[in-house]
Chains A and B, each alone.
Chain A
Amino acid sequence: SAVISQKPSRDICQRGTSLTIQCQVDSQVTMMFWYRQQPGQSLTLIATANQGSEATYESGFVIDKFPISRPNLTFSTLTVSNMSPEDSSIYLCSVTLMAGSYNEQFFGPGTRLTVL
């Protein structure tokens, strides 16, 4: 398995501000993702964080709102920009461990964001 940590674990922010979430993995991984879980909903993929290049965003998510960095194979950040109450969600970092045909995905503990 993979040990994934996220910081902060939770935060309460004011409308119009930005928050950067950090994700650290205990081993080098190729695939790294960011998900959002709105209250009472399932998980939705925001983007794939690519090492050394721009992230690949899913439909409905844009770089200006959710800039992502991935400077190496163990670390990534997600910024939630110009926040509004609709951004209140749990944000989760995820990685895939791959070996041949095996490809299991693991999740960090999440960052619980409340926007006032």
Chain B
Amino acid sequence: GIQVEQSPPDLILQEGANSTLRCNFSDSVNNLQWFHQNPWGQLINLFYIPSGTKQNGRLSATTVATERYSLLYISSSQTTDSGVYFCAVVGTSGSRLTFGEGTQLTVNP
């Protein structure tokens, strides 16, 4: 099946800093999504982005499908951004999401 790799596995920032999270995938995809899992375990949809670039407030994402990677940008980070960020994909031959291992983000005040 399709493989999903996220980097870095852990990231510690000071409030106000910017960061870039990366997601590499091993095959063509029909779907790519970024999620934020908050400390209570809730998975929050950030972006549905199988290709192209999207922005939502301080967050933006870019997927370059031909090169099989996606980037999540967080600008002016806040303590509430802390949590685990997951990238997940659906391969062209599949129908459900395969998750990466996540990036654990800690934003310190």
Q: Known contacts being A48-B96, A104-B48, A110-B42, is A42 close to B33, with CB within 8 Å?
A: no
Q: Known contacts being A43-B99, A45-B96, is A103 close to B31, with CB within 8 Å?
A: yes
Q: Please tell me if the beta carbons of B101 and A109 are within 8 angstroms of each other in the complex.
A: no
Task: Report chain B residues within 8 Å CB of A102.
Answer: 48
Q: Known contacts being A33-B96, A42-B100, is A103 close to B90, with CB within 8 Å?
A: yes
Which residues, 48 to 79 on A, are CB-close (under 8 Å) to B? 48
How many chain A residues touch the partner (CB < 8 A)? 24
Which residues, 89 to 116 on A, are CB-close (under 8 Å) to B? 90, 92, 94, 96, 101-107, 109-110, 112
Q: Please tell me if the beta carbons of B95 and A31 are within 8 angstroms of each other in the complex.
A: yes
B102 at the interface (CB under 8 A from A): yes
B26 at the interface (CB under 8 A from A): no
- How many angstroms between the C-alpha atoms of A43 and B102 in the bound complex? 9
Task: Report chain A residues within 8 Å CB of B30.
Answer: 101, 103
Task: Report chain B residues within 8 Å CB of A90.
Answer: 41
Which residues, 75 to 109 on B, are CB-close (under 8 Å) to A? 86, 88, 90, 95-102
Task: Report chain A residues within 8 Å CB of B88.
Answer: 43, 105
Chief secondary structure at chain A's binding surface? strand
- How many angstroms between the C-alpha atoms of A94 and B30 in the bound complex? 18
Q: Known contacts being A33-B96, A104-B31, is A109 close to B90, with CB within 8 Å?
A: no
Task: Report chain A residues within 8 Å CB of B98.
Answer: 45
> Whole-angstrom distance from the CB of B23 to the nearest CB of chain A?
12
Q: Please tell me if the beta carbons of B33 and A107 are within 8 angstroms of each other in the complex.
A: no
One digit per residue, 1 when the CB lies within 8 angstroms of any chain B CB and 0 when it does not, for chain A 21-39 equals 0000000000101000100
Q: Please tell me if the beta carbons of B43 and A92 are within 8 angstroms of each other in the complex.
A: yes
> Whole-angstrom distance from the CB of A56 to the nearest CB of chain B?
10
5 pairs of A and B residues whose beta carbons are closest in the complex: A107-B43, A104-B48, A43-B99, A42-B99, A110-B41
A-B contact pairs, 12 of them (CB 8 A): A31-B96, A37-B41, A42-B86, A45-B98, A48-B96, A103-B30, A103-B31, A104-B33, A105-B33, A105-B88, A107-B42, A110-B43
